[in-house]
Structure formats: C-alpha cells, structure tokens
Amino acid sequence: MTHPPSVDQLARSLKHHGLPHPILVEIARSAIASDQVGNIDALVNQRKRRLLMPVINATGVLLHTNLGRAPVGVEVEPRYSNLELNLETGQRGSRQQTIGDTLATLCGAEAAMVVNNCAGAVLLTLAALAAGKGVAVSRGEMVEIGGGFRIPDVMNQSGARLVEVGTTNRSRLSDFTTAYETNPDMAMVLKVHRSNYEIVGFTEDVSVEALTSVGVPVIADIGSGLLDAACPWLAGPPPIWLADEPAAKQTLEAGADLVLFSGDKLFGGPQAGIIAGSKELVQRCSSHPLARALRPGSLVMHALQSVAMSYLDRQGDEIPFWRMVATKQSDLVDRAERVANSTNDKVTAVETKAVPGGGTLPTVTFPSYGVTVEGDITSALRSNDRPIIARVEQNRTYVDLRTVDPNDDDELIQALMTASTSPTSKNPQSNDGASS
C-alpha cells in the first residue's frame, strides 16, 4: 500500500512557487485529502491567481469595475508621514485637512473631505445633516448602483426620512416647494445624478440653481466625479461627450451647498468619496461619528493628493484615465497594425468602440482600434503570466488597445501568438470584459 506523502515535505517541495509556507501547507493538505498530489502544481497556480495582481485591460472599458476602475499608481516610500500631525504646532492634526484643502482648491469650494467611496459620502452626509428629518428626492433620481444598493436603502440606514417628489419622468420646482411646505422637518434636497441610466421622452427636471430657492440646503450627488466642465487639464477643448455631465465646480457655482462624487471614476484616482462645498456643512460631516468609520487610509490620501496635483498643474496626461481618453485614433491604428503584423494571419486589426464604464455615461462610446481573433481565446489570454482580459462578441475575441498601455504591446503580441494557436474555448457565448 502506498502511503501519502508528508504534508510538510510536500509543502516544502513547492517553495519555488514563491508562496508563503502556511499557504503551501494548506494546498498540500488539500491535495493529499482529495488525491490530487499529481496535479499539485496546477493547484498552486490556481491559489496564486486568487491573489491581487496586475492585469492588462484589453476590454475597451476604461473604468472597468471588475478591474479596479481607474488605473492609478502611487509610489510612497516606507516612511512615516504627517498623516495626522500639524507640523506647525507639533500637535495632533487632521488627516482630512491637507487633502481637504487641496480638493477644495480643485473644486472651488470652501472645504472638502474624503471618505471610502461615494456611497459612504452619501451615507455620512445624510446621517450628519438629516438624521430624523426629511430629505426630498425626485422619484426619477432614486437610483440603484452596482451590487443592488439603492438610494432609499442608504437613506434608511442614515436615519433620514425619504420624501419622494414628482414622478419618474417629470419633477417640477413646485413639487419640491410643496414637499417643503408639507414637511416642516425637511432638512435638505438631495439631487442625484442618473449616471448609469437615462430617462428620455416626456421628461422634466429641476436644476440645482432652481432648487436653491426651496429654502433648505441642496446636496448634489454628481456621482462620476468630473471636476470642471472646461477640462483645463486637457490640451484641447472639453470632449463633446461630456456636454451633459455635471461637474463639481459648476454645480457649486450654481448654488449647491455640497457636491459628492467618486474618486475612481472620471476623477481618475483611487476608490474614494469626496464631499466638497460649504465649510460649515463639511465640518458637521467630519465631526460625525461615522466619519471615523468611513475614513480612508494614508495610501488613498497619497494617491488622491498625487492625482489632485496633476489636475492643479494642468497635466492631464499624467492621469491614466485622461491619457487613454486623449489617445488619437491614428495612434491606435498604428499600434493595432503592428500587433497584427507581429503575430500571425489569425490576428487582424479592426475598428472597435470603447466605453467609459464604471456606471458612467451609459450611452457614450469612443472610436477605438484593436485586433480580433476568431473564436473565444479569452481563457488562454487570462492564463498569461500577467492576465490579459479581453471581450468576446459573436464568437470573436476582441482586444481593444485604447485601454492597453503601449508599453504592454510586446507582451500582448507574445500572448496572442500563443493563444491564437491554441484550441478555442467551447463556450462561444462568454463575454469577458462586458461588465463595467
């Protein structure tokens, strides 16, 4: 009878995979129990691929939720920082002050603060400013974001009371003034940007400027995080596709008391929620107990500061999202032809369409270019040392170069050479990269 190998010996034989010994012990124990010792290298590789790792986004979805949305990098030396130290007084400071001052300058606001995401910004604002009171929201703006989270649910958790206004397709200023008159405890109007859907046809909406006449603070959740409609960080005029997108600076100029937006969408930074506007209201939010529970760590603060400085220096090319947006179609064509010519006759250059993704601008597409291969080779591309995520349409694999860094083209070529000569997947209906 053959005895199973020692768990410890088997784990030590896997040391070359580079995983910590306790993880290798778990894999070895599982392999022995399931009689998979002969397949243990594959089990180790499966475990390694459950770790966070860099991937190549070839989907054409610029803000891909499954891939971390906006690509952002920050290099921070392993040193202490003045995260909560006032260097002038030597006393304890606020982690919000430095980044808050910078973001306020960026938005043209009196003050700003940061939490972990935009849903957190909404939750904190409602809890700090409207707990136990009414909040008016148009029925056409009671949105649901990814993961099934809904504005009414977030409001319920905050302790505020939802006051529904108007109808799904039409809300008027008179609806809000009536709501105020019939709800004496109404604390604010919450205007929510419909960033992941549109309502067209027989519609009517109320502007931020008009809402300021209701008599309570106006809080605008602009969602996607466009800072300034003029886009001064770009070399040319603002992109046409941003024409109807609300921007933080203009929303505040229109009279909003606070704007709330994401850090990892059109802002192009790390996941964060930014609250900017009235100094008094920001202070009330920052002093609420939830502010501590929702605060981000120093790495997020460093990354936000880095992106903010690029905006203030008007260096949009330093922000990967805006660099991808601004890439010329002719440059993408040249790269696609090089990739196709450097592989084999199964890989051909093709015009594609990229999308913003991340629940933003649902009807917008960008002209783009990439390569295509017959069949579904997405599984083979994902097995690359640095996984390549592509998309499948009508049993063809598409690699969109707008979301691929030019420095990754050579790695992409090698992966396509290997994947395009391997058997195609038996699942032509898969659609890797479709989620945004």
Could you tell me the pTM of the whole model?
A: 0.91
Residue 193 in this model has a pLDDT that exceeds 80: yes
The per-residue pLDDT for 225 is: 86
Helices (H), 277-328: 279-286, 289-294, 298-312, 320-326
Strands 134-138 and 161-165: parallel
SS3 51: coil
97-294 has which fold?
Aspartate Aminotransferase; domain 2 (3.40.640)
Using one digit for the tens of pLDDT, what is the confidence trace for 86-136? 999 999 999 898 899 999 999 999 999 999 999 999 999 999 999 999 999
Cβ atoms of residues 111 and 279 within 8 Å: yes
The per-residue pLDDT for 321 is: 95
Distances (CA, A) of 152 to 54, 143, 156, 324, 360: 36, 8, 6, 35, 20
Q: How far apart are CA 85 and CA 74, in angstroms?
A: 21
Confidence bin at 430 (pLDDT 50/70/90): very low
Q: How far apart are CA 18 and CA 27, in angstroms?
A: 13
The per-residue pLDDT for 436 is: 56
Confidence bin at 358 (pLDDT 50/70/90): confident
Give domain 56-71+323-419's CATH number out of 1.20.120.450, 3.30.565.10, 3.40.50.1110, 3.90.1150.180: 3.90.1150.180
Map out the domains of the chain as residue ranges. 9-48, 56-71+323-419, 97-294
The per-residue pLDDT for 202 is: 82
The per-residue pLDDT for 148 is: 64
Mean pLDDT of 270-292: 97
Mean pLDDT of 42-46: 93
